[in-house]
Copies of this chain bind each other. A is one copy, B any other.
Amino acid sequence: MSEKLTGNDLLQYIDQMNDPEKLKKALEFIHPADILDALEDSDIDQISFLARLPNDILAEIIEEADDEDKNEIFDLFEGQKQQQIISEMASDELVDLLETLDPKDADDLIASLEPEEASKLKSLMRYDPETAGGIMATEFVAIKEAMTVKEALEYLQQYGEEAEALFYIYVLDKQGALQGVISLRDIVVSRFDTHLRDLTNPNVLSVTPEMDQEEVARIFHKYGFSSIPVVDQRNKMLGIITADDALEVVVDESTEDFEKMSALAHSDLEYLDSGIIDLARRRILWLLFLMISATFTGFIIQGYEAALTEMVILAAFIPILMDTGGNAGAQSATLIIRGMALGEIDISDYSKVFFKELRISLLVGVTLAVVNFLRILLFNRDMMLGITVSVAMLFTVVTAKIVGCSLPIIARKLRIDPAIMAAPIITTIVDALSLMVYFWLATTIYI
């Protein structure tokens, strides 16, 4: 990375600029994310520093900040200044900010806007934040097809400044219905007298505002677009979603899946910024639930107390069966959960997945069982013990893989997030089943 001013350096540099015009010019080329970083690292007085910045820069800084910081920075200012700041914000970012505020304060702010702007915001806020409507911006550039490149450029010089992103320009009919798309790139590489209709792609891919943001991100990933238009059921254009929104979605959704798959409740706060109580709370409920579930496995062992008393050596193989079952199940569950998240596996593939996992589990299970059998022969010199543990091992692996591939797909079918059905829950279920079979085998063929 090229060298940059950071931390106190940056802030002092900005602080020394007394001429507002010079300050504005200097700030134009410093990314708001860097100002935020600098603010976090330094011991400068936030309020007096921020108060000197122009409203559009403040708007950008708030847009850039994490959810919990947006609110904090915004609250440093009083009412009138707040109104000036939000008038500089992009619609999608403003919705994010308003959602972090007290509903009463948010309503007051919306009421301070022009009626048209206010009603647009209210309709944006009605969308679920995790849908296309929740992440789209309404600032896009629409154009009439009956222009030449030169006329289009002149039009953009007049109206382009407001757009959220200028990768594509949308062709709408008189009712606002989406007719086609022209890439800005095609406009600038074409001669001034080219007619726009020769550059228009009528086969434009669009999404509805209700589409889940994960699905939107999958479309970006598949096609590599820079932005995608959002249209209503009558094809009326409502807004655009840009590639950086998609990147944000992918990072957030992956993080949530990692959390769910490790029995963690979600939080928007970064680890180092979170308090002990908050971090403990995110873990304790799942741990309690799983601990109590594991009690049943304990009951199974208690039920075989007589067998255990007779052959205490049986207890020595509990860990190996439990660990292998947990790992084998986690492997299958992860492949299926990830495959569904990437849109590679669908509910309708269940029978294919099931038979695949069945055959894999037999292959893997037999291998592990044989290695295990040889190990027991070598160390314990007890053929029947070897058979008992190894048959239980084969059963454990097969059960783990079948449960591991089935639960995520069943969850999706029930419209629950498949990521919940990962290692922790699968381990608990497989442990109980596998120890039940192990002790049943032991009492039937071994003792």
CB–CB A288/B371 < 8 A:
yes
A272: which B residues are within 8 A, CB to CB? 339, 344-345, 349, 352-353
A29: which B residues are within 8 A, CB to CB? 201-203
A271-295 contacts to B, CB under 8 A, are 271-272, 276-277, 279-280, 283-284, 286-288, 290-292, 294-295
Say how far A168's CB is from chain B's closest CB, in angstroms: 12
CB–CB A184/B166 < 8 A:
yes
A326 within 8 A of B: yes
CB–CB A30/B262 < 8 A:
no
Bound-state CA distance A295–B290 (Å) is 24
A284: which B residues are within 8 A, CB to CB? 363-364, 367-368
A255: which B residues are within 8 A, CB to CB? 338, 342
Are A2 and B188 also in contact (CB < 8 A) when A276-B359, A297-B320, A331-B264 are? Answer: no
Are A205 and B339 also in contact (CB < 8 A) when A157-B191, A308-B312 are? Answer: no
A331: which B residues are within 8 A, CB to CB? 262-264, 283, 286-287
Stretch in contact with the other chain, from A45-53, A241-249, A409-417: A241-249
Residue of B nearest to A217 (CB): B247
A299-335 contacts to B, CB under 8 A, are 299, 301-302, 305, 308-309, 312-313, 315-320, 322-324, 326-328, 330-331, 333-335
A23 within 8 A of B: no
Say how far A187's CB is from chain B's closest CB, in angstroms: 7
Are A221 and B206 also in contact (CB < 8 A) when A226-B167, A262-B331, A334-B262 are? Answer: no
Stretch in contact with the other chain, from A67-75, A78-86, A120-128, A423-431: A423-431
A224 within 8 A of B: yes
Residue of B nearest to A220 (CB): B247
Residue of B nearest to A405 (CB): B271
| Centre residue among A205, A224, A277, A305 by max chain B CB count within 10 A | A224
CB–CB A189/B223 < 8 A:
no
Bound-state CA distance A313–B303 (Å) is 10
CB–CB B290/A323 < 8 A:
yes
CB–CB B291/A372 < 8 A:
yes
A254 within 8 A of B: yes
CB–CB A364/B202 < 8 A:
no
Say how far A264's CB is from chain B's closest CB, in angstroms: 5
A187: which B residues are within 8 A, CB to CB? 188
A188-205 contacts to B, CB under 8 A, are 188-192, 201-205
A38 within 8 A of B: no
A427: which B residues are within 8 A, CB to CB? 323, 326
Q: Give the residue of B192, B204, B313, B323 whose beta carbon is less than 8 angstroms from that of A302.
A: B313
A147 within 8 A of B: no
Bound-state CA distance A1–B210 (Å) is 11
A161 within 8 A of B: yes
0/1 per residue, A230-253, Cβ < 8 Å to B?
A: 010001000000011011101100
A271: which B residues are within 8 A, CB to CB? 335-336, 339, 344-345, 353, 356
CB–CB A318/B330 < 8 A:
no
Residue of B nearest to A371 (CB): B288
Say how far A80's CB is from chain B's closest CB, in angstroms: 29
| Centre residue among A4, A246, A312, A324 by max chain B CB count within 10 A | A312
Are A330 and B423 also in contact (CB < 8 A) when A29-B202, A246-B247, A254-B254 are? Answer: yes
| Centre residue among A207, A292, A352 by max chain B CB count within 10 A | A292
Residue of B nearest to A297 (CB): B319
A435 within 8 A of B: yes
A185 within 8 A of B: yes
Residue of B nearest to A216 (CB): B1
A279: which B residues are within 8 A, CB to CB? 335, 356, 360
Return the 3 tightest CB-CB contacts between A and B, nearest first: A262-B334, A160-B189, A224-B244
22 example contacts (A-B, Cβ-Cβ < 8 A) are as follows A4-B205, A29-B202, A30-B203, A160-B189, A161-B189, A166-B185, A166-B188, A188-B188, A224-B244, A271-B335, A271-B356, A283-B360, A286-B331, A287-B324, A287-B364, A290-B327, A291-B323, A291-B368, A294-B319, A294-B323, A298-B316, A308-B315
